[in-house]
Structure 1
Amino acid sequence: MDKILVIEDDFKLQKYIKDYLEAYDFEVELVTDFGRVVSQVEESNPDLILLDINLPTFDGFYYLRVLRKKSHIPIIILSARSEEGEQIRGMEYGADDYVTKPFRIGILLAKINAVLRRAHHRMEESHSAGDLKLLHDSMKLQCKEQVVELSKNEFRLMHLFMKNTGGIVSREELLEALWDEHVFVDDNTLTVNITRIKKKLSLYGLHNVITTKRGVGYVFDPSNR
C-alpha cells in the first residue's frame, strides 16, 4: 500500500483528499503542525507528497527545495497559482507534477497513479557494468560497498554510458540526454559534466573507463582501469 503525505493547510480540502484516496487503498497522512514539516516528512517516509504552495511559515517552494536536497520522493504540487511562470518554477525546483486549484479529484488520482508508476519503475530499474551499479531510485553510483551521489546531469550521462557499455556514444547523443527545455545546454556543459563523472569514478580507482574518440564521442568501458 502506497503512503501519501498531504501538506495542505485547508483542512476541509485535506479531509476530502484523505477520504477519497483512502477509498482507493492509499495510506494517507496529514501534516497539521506546519512548524515541523520537514521532520514529519522524514518520520513518515511517504511514497508520494502532495504539497500546497500557500502555507504558514514558509511556502511550498521553500519546502520543495529543502526536500529535493534530501530525497527524490515524488512530489505533486497543489496550488491556486495557475500562472505559467509559477508552474515552470515548481518543475524547475523538482516537482514531478503541478495541479492547479480548483481541480477534479479524479484527475488528481490519475496524476498520483502516473507519478507512482514512474517512481516504481525507476526503483525496479538499474544498470550494471562490471562492479558499477547505477541506482535509479536514489540517483547514486555504487561500486561494491562504496556509493557516490550524482547530479541530475551526471546521472543522465552515466545512464546513457552504461546502456552502451563498450560502444561509442556520440556527443550529439550525450547532449540530447542533457537537454532541458528550461536550461540552455551547450558543448561546454557536456565537457564539464563528463569531467565531473571521471573525477567521481576515480574515487573507485577507475581512471580510464571513459575514453575520448576524437571527433566522434566517448566509449565507456569499466574493464579499462
Structure 2
Amino acid sequence: MDRIAPPRVVISDGGSGFAKALAKRWPTSNHQRCLFHVFAQVRRYTTSAPKTVAGKALYELAKRLFKIQSIDDAYTWIDGLLAWREEFDDFLREMTVDENGNKRATHERLLKAEAGLLRLIRDDTLFTYLTFVDITVPTTNNRLEGGVNAQLRGMLRDHRGLSLERRLKAVYWWCYEHSPRPLPVAEILKCMPTDKTIAATYRRIMRNNRVDNILPQWGDAIVWNEFHMSTEFPIYWD
C-alpha cells in the first residue's frame, strides 16, 4: 500500500475494521460508505416485503438514498429519517417479555436498521460524495465487486482443490499482476507471503475470533465440495 498515493476519497462496503485501517494508512482520505450496501443492510432488517407500516416506511426511505443528488436532498432525507422516528416512536418503544422473563425491544430489527443509518450520519460517511465539486465520486463500490472481486471468486472456483494457503497466494498473485505498475516477477516472489506465514496469520485470526457452537469458518472444516464429488446435500460454508 505504500506505493499507492492516498486517494481523496475511499468507497467501502462497511466491513469491520475498515475505518481504523483507513485512518491508519490514509488519514487524509475521505470515506464514503457504499449506498447499495447501506440499503442492503436496511433491507436485511426490514426484508423486501415489510409487514408493519413502520417497516414499509423505513424501507421506502432507504430506497430513496439512490436518488439524492445534492446537499439539500441529503438534509431532506435526514429530516425524513427523524420524522420516521417521531411518527413511530411509541411503536418502536414497545417491549416483549421472552420465555426467560427478560424484556427486549419488540421491534429490535427496525431499531438496529435505524441505529446503523444514524451512525453513518454521525460519522459523516453517508453523503461524502456530495462534498466534492471538481470530481464525480461513485456512491457504490459495484465496480470493484463486479470488476475485481467477481474475477477473484471465479478464479478460486476454477481452482477449488487448492489449499487455503495457496488460495490466498493466488489472490495475492492476481492482485500483483493486475496492479497498474506490477513489479517484476523476481520482486513479486521476494515479497510474496509464504505458506508458513499465511498459515500462522490465519491461525492467529481464527484464535482471536473463534466463537464456540457456530458454523465452521472459511477453511475451518472439511466440505464435500472440496473433494470434487457430487452430493445431494451440498454445503457452501467454504
Is the structural similarity TM-score above 0.5? no
Larger Rg, first or second structure (1 or 2): 2
- RCO (CA 8 Å, sep 6+): is it higher in 1 or 2? 2
TM-score (norm 2): 0.28
TM-score (norm 1): 0.29
User: If each structure's strand is expressed as a fraction of its own residues, which one has the higher value?
Assistant: 1
User: If each structure's helix is expressed as a fraction of its own residues, which one has the higher value?
Assistant: 2
